[in-house]
Amino acid sequence: MPDFSSSRVKRRLLVLFTLAVIAWIIWKARGALTPFAVGAVIAYLLAPVVIFFEHLLPFPKRFSSVSAGISVILTYLLVTVVLAVAGFFLVPPLIHQTNEFVDNAPGYVDDAKIELDKLNRYYHESVPQVVRTNLEKNLDAVKAQVSETGKTALKLTFNAVGTVIGFLAGLALLPLWVFYVLKDQRRGIVWFYKLWPDDWQEDVRNIVGIVDKMLATYIRVQLFLGIVIGIVTGIAMWIIGIQQAIVLGLFAGIFEMVPVLGPWIAFIVAAIVTLATDPDRIFLVALAFLGIQQLENTFLVPKLQGDALRINPAIIVMLLAIGGSLWGLVGLIVVVPLTAVLRDVFVYLYHRASDIPPAESVPEELLER
């Protein structure tokens, strides 16, 4: 049994207790901290750019704080220029199409219902009764499961509406917060590691490294997929001649962040717009989305997301159902990368519990990256 009177055990218990209290506070205030979670992702993505500028600046090490501040400012300027150039070409048509989409949304839904009724009548007139019965039995079971998961996810998501004031307040402070996070990231990392007992620090560094590699890979892969799918979808809708092609491309890029279900949601939105405005082109839209998904699933996802997560698609579907039931829309987004991180941390801790040295306990798949 551990000697609870020893100073080493007391320090370790103090660290664990402090971490538990911090985790509890973060959980209780999670609604107000949502903007800072977004800011953490932004800072995570911009950190390599800041480090790049730090290496370019001719400041000695004793002026590292000045160098870090200037590097963050240069990064902000670079991002501002990129957004301004992109906004000059995209924002005016995007605003126009978005306003048009919002104004016409109720009419889109009504017109889509009319077209769906026509398709439903055609289905009942053309498909034999026996085939319809078997098909509808299977669809009812799937629909019930999806409906239940969707209701739970939406309920949990809309329960967060009460935190909107705290969210907006945090959003206003976000640029300043990200600035200080980027500026003091090196000192913050050193301070964090010094909090731990000496004989824990190597393990903590390895676990943080595991989390860092998994999250960095996943976030960058998802952003890349979102940009590619958004651009390709927008171009495809424009070629077909669908209204609000830019908005539909934007929807496709955003919903690409939701694994598996996201592309289906984007297709439903595009299908509603198409059925309401030009129903004769619905099959072209369906073929375009099918082709885009084949491109994604055949070439992009297996190489990029598959390498990043190493999780079977069937397990991903189950995880999405669990995440949606527990945490709503946020659960759908975070459950897959969270599972991948917990898996690799578990493997590391299991090896350490088996008296394997820290350097040899890191999963081999991460060492190969």
Q: Each residue of 126-183: pLDDT tens digit?
A: 767 766 676 666 666 655 655 555 555 445 444 544 445 555 555 667 778 788 878 8
Q: Give residue 287's pLDDT.
A: 92
**Beta carbons within 8 Å of 186's beta carbon, 6+ residues apart:** 64, 68
Q: Give residue 102's pLDDT.
A: 63
Q: Give residue 169's pLDDT.
A: 58
Angle at 178 between CA 172 and CA 179, to 5 degrees: 105
Rg (the chain; Cα; Å): 25
Reported in sequence order, the residue ranges of 298-340 that DSSP labels E, i.e. its strands, are none
Cα 107 to Cα 104: distance, rounded to the nearest angstrom: 5
Q: Give residue 161's pLDDT.
A: 45
Q: Give residue 368's pLDDT.
A: 55
Q: Which of 69-83, 134-148, 269-283 has the highest mean pLDDT?
A: 69-83
Residue-wise pLDDT for 169-179, tens only, equals: 556 677 787 88
Q: Which two tokens stand for residue 204?
A: 């903590």
Evaluate if residue 244 carries a pLDDT over 60: yes
> DSSP for 266-308?
HHHHHHHHHHHH-GGGHHHHHHHHHHHHHHIIIIIHHHTHHHH
